[in-house]
Structure 1
Amino acid sequence: ALAPALAPCEASSARGDAPTTADPAYPEPVFVDATCGGAGHTLALLEDARTRPRTVVAMDRDADAIAWAEDTLRPRADALGVRLVLVHAPFSSLAEVLDDLQITAVSAILADLGVSSHQLDTAARGFSFRADAPLDMRMDRSRGMSAADVLAAIEERELSRILREYGEEEDATRIARAIVAARPRTTAALADTVREAMSARQRRRLGARIHPATRTFQALRIHVNGELDELKRLLDAAPERLRGGGRLAIISFHSLEDRLVKQRFSALSRPPAVPRGLPIPESERPSAAFSLPLGRRGQTPGDLELENNPRSRSSRLRALERCT
């Protein structure tokens, strides 16, 4: 699914544009995987000749992901003659990372938002209610407060706001009251507290397929990692680092993320406003600097993708292309 979204990666490097890397050690086209994770996306792009870059800058705020990429991604990149740069950093620091590498513009940027499969499946990371473990939820365990520490100090009103805004939880007030009373420090304790606090009506609405604590875990994770602020910084920086024909692709998993991406992409794809009544011929009207190659609705997973990767069911892929 990513190949069409990032296909201009190769084409944009062959149009005779001026080089956009000050250091010849980073041959073009340059691809940035802003959320390296398990390296699955980058590995797939390396295997596809249409999208294979000559330089990959793979970033992640999780040190485990960088270590994994060193073991799995680097051997394949070396075999294909692709320059690989691994950077332990959040995608909000994209501009600083590229500046440090003296790379002014790139052909493609990908960000796969939210929690990775490794983080979900590793109980000790404390992201999931499916196994009991200390409440951590930090994507970067070298900094910030764990979820347990947040819950140990937070006030009820602030927690209620977090649950309502980041989890869109209808029972935010009663759940926040119960959590503050219990101050849970493990995933199981938090899940049990939420289940007991949630109204019977809300549990019936969720049904058997959705765990009562799903939205609470999402909201707390977003707060602990500052995910929406991180995304806003990426959306500000990334479009400006694309070269002509370059594309930014973002995969979101819930409405809060997708709304930010949609609004930013929509604003960038509109042509500059022309004062009303100004007699400008149609051919001379300014055009938009960016376009939406996947349309305004983006792309959702097909049946095959859902069969191979059930976790993608709530995902949406949106793409932005720099026209000038």
Structure 2
Amino acid sequence: MSLRDNGSEVTEFVLLGFVGSRGLQLGLLALFLLAYMLTITENVVIVAVIRTSPLLHKPMYLFLSHLSFLEAWYISVTVPKMLFSLAVPECRHISFAGCMAQLYFFLALACTECVLLSVMAYDRYVAICSPLRYPTIMRPGFCSLLAASSWLSGFSVSMGKVFFISRLGYCGPNTMNHFFCDVSPLLNLACSDMSVAELVDFLLALLILLGPLALTMSSYAAILGAVLRIPSASGRQKAFSTCASHLAVVAIFYSASLFIYARPRALYAFEYNKLVSVVYTVLTPLVNPIIYCLRNQEVKGALRRLAQRAGQALRASS
């Protein structure tokens, strides 16, 4: 595998995005713009509600506020460029440096979400398996440390992967069959010997994804054992209901991520990657706040109180 020491010969890439008629592209523009605006609004509202509601100043909601803050940035890394390309098809170019920056922040936020989801699983494990020790273990300082560690680990791990990809040789063509700079399309465009590059990328993806996933699954295995030991059916249902939302988010996130990043190159399909990418870059940040809020009475109650206060403030000002 040859690596570039003096930079890449390719100075920019062309993102094909979603090809089709102009009418189709305008329809996708309207659809993705609506999804983007809803996602930003949902996640900002959740962060504001948790921060301004004393009843939600608990570890679970602290991590949820970090997740919502993360996903507002996560969708902003890829979707605005995609929207601009759909609106102005002539402007599908992205510089090499811009492509690497987009890839870095995308991977950094995705890795952070992996770790943050495992931290949230650990929080549920302590709450169900050691309820009497929960206030002692999940102290505010420790929770803040876990949240900060999620961000630090995600942004640190992705740096090595992006550095490795940026040092590959790119000598043309520079047309990328994707709507943002992702690992697989970039590896397909590299003109280096890709046997080692693909193996390293595959192993790194397994390490990044499977480490937090193993911690999440072990937490839920212990939770399942504790729930099954509860004598009453209503008690088991109540205990499991506190984990259902998080389990749904984990299932959606890891299903798409493992499909894209943790499978051998021989199993890659042509257009499926782009469709699955829409799931975890657009749909997942959109539905996660809905999953959490629709099943959580405390969050819904805080939302109602915040809406009432906002309505009273508007009436008072008028």
- TM-score, length basis structure 1: 0.22
More helix by share: 2
Greater RCO structure (CA 8 Å; 6+ sep): 2
- TM-score, length basis structure 2: 0.22
